[in-house]
Amino acid sequence: MFQQSFKEQTPMSDPDIQDNPFLRPGYGLPLDFAPMQKNVYGIHNRSLFPNANDDRDIKQGNADQPLQTLREFNMLRIMEGITDTPEWYKRIHEYDVAEAWKKDAMEKEPDITPNMANWIIDELRFKSILYEHSGAIALYNGDVTKSDINISDEFRLRLLHAVKSLEDIPQEMRFYNPGTDYVQEDLIPVAFCCLVYGRSRILSDKIISTEESLKYIGQGEIIPVPEETGITREDITTRVATQTDIATRPYSRRFQMLPFEMNLGEDGKWHITSYINNLHPVRYSGLYELFEELFNNVIDQLEVTLTPLKDMLHSRARIEYRKAEYYPLPKEVEEQIPKPGEREAEIEFEDRLQSWRMANLKAVQPDCGKFIPWAVPQWMMNNIPMDLSTPLRVEQEVLLGKDYAKHGLQLMIRIFDIHLSPEKPRFESGWHGAGQMNDHVIASAFVTIEHDNVTVPLMAFRHLAETTTLGEVEHRPEDTVWLKQIFGLNPGDAAIQEPGKIRCFLNRMVMFPSTVQHRYEGMELVDNSKNGTVKAFAFFLVDPNIRITSTANVPPQRLDWAFQGADYDEFLNLNLSLDKLLMGFQNQSNLPFSMSEAKRWHAQALKETIEFTKYTDVAWDSKKVNV
């Protein structure tokens, strides 16, 4: 793997560090600082949630999800379809409806057995109770959650109306994601005017509130470039070190996205307490209020998404596989088993034999048992029958208000458009996570707020699979046919599985933790003769177990924000004049970013993010399937 083991730190100082609002990773603390916590055995460990952006978590298996069979993926497709049905959580309790859904499942998927169909209905009946409590359902481990009731259509229209005001800007101030050929446009780009080490200013003795943010523009000291974390190319495995295109380090010494702060108020709701980067706190104050409303509406769903990061026993496979067995071969087929050729090399014969076995052997597929909840939240225990044959475990829930009210939360917002046209009628993205390791993003949330002349976007997910259980499967030496037919994997493959996809309907809130990756798939024009648009609102949660530099520390960095009342055209003209005028000055660092400077930093930050994606791709691919 890439990085050295987790470093030893002084655990006794961690409470003081977490309470000090002026000490942050990369500013007063090592860039790779992680808070420590003593476990039940008295050993100090990092107290961060697992993250698949961190190759150390990958190496130690902290980001793994249970290995799933192909049959379980079929079950997931059925459950995904049922939970796309309006009011499924009510209709699932109607006997005739449930029976019809079971029959339909077995007809659509011939591989669905009666046991599997019963499990599907029983699991969804159980999860319907959770859905009415949190507004969210999790089908894919991680947990990936979706909700069709947490965001109302009335709220979406209000949010859309407010977001439309962000579109009234000149072409020069539009931001397009690199590599998307001007298809994906950011209305609020998270990497624009981000923290730039050696250029950005930070207040070392003052916390900046939302209301006071504009008056501190240009103030503070320059945040120095952090020292190296000690991680070098010599720490990278030989396989990776030979890839000369992997130039990045896990922790950036150049950039960090700037989150804003949210704190729990006396009214029991979360409120924004520092400015949102690239969203003017006065001009767009209405969007601030709308985001607060949105966030408080989806808190329960976010907690469902985060709970598996805290409770490592939360997830499991629905179907277990213990022994490789095959259906008997017909006598005439068995007589055709390959024999070694007279001068055939052993490895050639083994390859030929394996190909024959793969073509002729048919593995006996495993079936599921009866659905029993694996773990339940504390609030649900009173509703559980006392005569269950298997005792239930109470899960360790993440409760943001209870667990993190003291220090608050840090988040980032992104609003983006996908513009399709007859010339560019299709869009899909590559697999990726959110941010770099400096950013400590632990969960992402997306909701589609506008959708015109484009097929419903599909968001696909993949995760790292916990493959040590393969060693428990009873099988003949050298036999791997079962591995392909049961799990869809081959020896030496990357231990990655793609459990399914979620359709991103209007109003649907989709959330997932940073132990999974996602991508957009199959977005196409409905009518190829005219343009189409998808508009989405996203937010990203920083791991609440750590505090990073935020807009409470760094004053606004946009030069246009320093000129109250100036419109964008005036700013652009002023920007060009300033750039020319300031060429004669040696020290311009006390000024906020001009547009041209900000765009240069933005381009470099995005380039570095692309490099980091290559880094994580190699980390994911380095975890291999062995039997």
pLDDT in tens, 121-150: 999 999 999 999 999 999 999 899 999 999
**Which of 327-341, 440-454, 459-473 has the weakest average pLDDT?**
327-341
517-528 confidence digits (pLDDT tens): 999 998 999 999
Rounded (10°) CA dihedral 8, 397, 518, 194? -60
What is the predicted pLDDT for the residue at 9? 44
Instruction: Round to whole Å and give the CA distance between 84 and 577.
Output: 55
Distance CA 137, CA 603 (A): 38
pLDDT of residue 316: 86
CB atoms within 10 A of CB 564: 10
Section 83-95 average pLDDT:
97
pLDDT over threshold 70, residue 11: no
Comparing 592 with 105, the larger pLDDT belongs to 105
Q: Compute CA distances 50 → 25, 230, 368, 392, whole Å.
A: 18, 21, 29, 25
* Nearest to 106, CA basis, from 126, 91, 120: 120
User: Per residue, what are the HEC states of 225-290?
Assistant: CCCCCCCCHHHCCHHHHCCCCCCCCCCCCCEECCCEEEEECCCCCEEECCCECCECCCCCHHHHHH
Question: For the chain, what are the domain ranges?
Answer: 11-67+145-313+397-621, 70-140+315-324+366-394, 331-360
pLDDT at 516: 96
What integer pLDDT is reported at residue 1 of this predicted model?
Answer: 37
User: Does position 230 have pLDDT exceeding 80, yes or no?
Assistant: no
Average pLDDT over residues 491-495: 93
pTM: 0.90
The conformation of residue 488, written as its DSSP 8-state character, comes to S
Structure tokens at 31: 């860039």
User: Average per-residue pLDDT in the chain?
Assistant: 87
What is the predicted pLDDT for the residue at 234?
A: 43
Higher pLDDT: 8 or 276? It is: 276
Cis peptide before 143 (omega within 30 of 0): yes
Report whether 566 contacts 595 (CB < 8 A): no
> Is-contact 612 247, C-beta < 8 A?
no
Backbone φ/ψ region at 478: left (φ over 0), alpha (ψ -120 to 50), beta: left
Contact (Cβ atoms closer than 8 angstroms) between residue 46 and residue 35: yes
Q: What is the pLDDT of residues 571-624, one digit of tens each?
A: 555 555 555 445 443 455 577 888 888 889 998 998 898 888 888 888 899 889
Q: What integer pLDDT is reported at residue 163 of this predicted model?
A: 94
| Distance, CA of 27 to CA of 134 (rounded, Å) | 38
Average pLDDT score over residue span 291-316: 91
Cβ–Cβ < 8 Å for 316, 374? yes
pLDDT tops 60 at residue 220: yes
User: Quick check: 238 pLDDT over 80?
Assistant: no
pLDDT given for residue 625 in this prediction: 92
From CA 528, how far away is CA 455, in angstroms rounded?
A: 11
- Residue 462, SS3 per DSSP: strand
Termini Cα distance of the chain: 21
Interval 145-154: pLDDT, tens: 999 999 999 9
443 close to 543: Cβ distance less than 8 angstroms:
no
- The whole-number pLDDT of residue 381 equals 81
Rounded alpha-carbon distances, angstroms, from residue 174 to 171, 245, 531, 540 = 5, 30, 19, 22
Nearest to 520 by CA among 497, 544, 542, 502: 502
Q: Is the pLDDT of residue 324 over 90?
A: yes
Does 82 have pLDDT greater than 70?
Answer: yes
Mean pLDDT is lowest, of 178-182, 246-250, 579-583, for 579-583
Percent of the chain with pLDDT over 70: 87
pLDDT digits (tens, 9 = 90+) for 22-49: 889 999 899 888 887 765 455 556 789 9
Condensed to tens digits (0 to 9), the pLDDT of residues 368-413 reads 999 988 888 888 887 776 666 677 788 889 999 999 999 999 999 9
Q: Which of 35-49, 157-171, 187-201, 228-242 has the lowest mean pLDDT?
A: 228-242
CA atoms within 13 A on the CB side of 143: 24
Residues 499, 70: Cα–Cα separation, whole Å: 9
**8 A C-beta contact, residue 620 and residue 496:** yes
Contact (CB, 8 A) for 194 and 277? yes
What is the structure's pLDDT at 16? Answer: 63
CB atoms within 10 A of CB 544: 21
Q: Which residues pair with 270 in a beta bridge?
A: 264
What does the alpha-carbon distance between residue 540 and residue 512 come to, in Å, rounded to a whole number? Answer: 10
Calculate ∠ Cα 530-532-538, nearest 5°.
170
Q: What is the pLDDT of residue 107?
A: 93
Mean pLDDT over 290-316 rounds to 91
Predicted pLDDT of residue 42 = 56
Question: What is the model's pLDDT at position 387?
Answer: 66
Whether 343 and 296 have beta carbons less than 8 Å apart is answered as no
- Rounded to whole angstroms, the Cα distance separating 490 from 328 reads 23
Q: Residue 201: helix, strand or coil by DSSP?
A: strand
* Residue 86, pLDDT score: 95
The residue with tokens 């007063």 is 28
Q: Specify which of 195-199, 357-361, 388-392, 562-566 reaches the highest per-range mean pLDDT.
A: 195-199
Task: Name the burial class of residue 232, with classes exposed (0-12), middle (13-18) and buried (19+) by CB atoms within 10 angstroms of its CB.
Answer: exposed
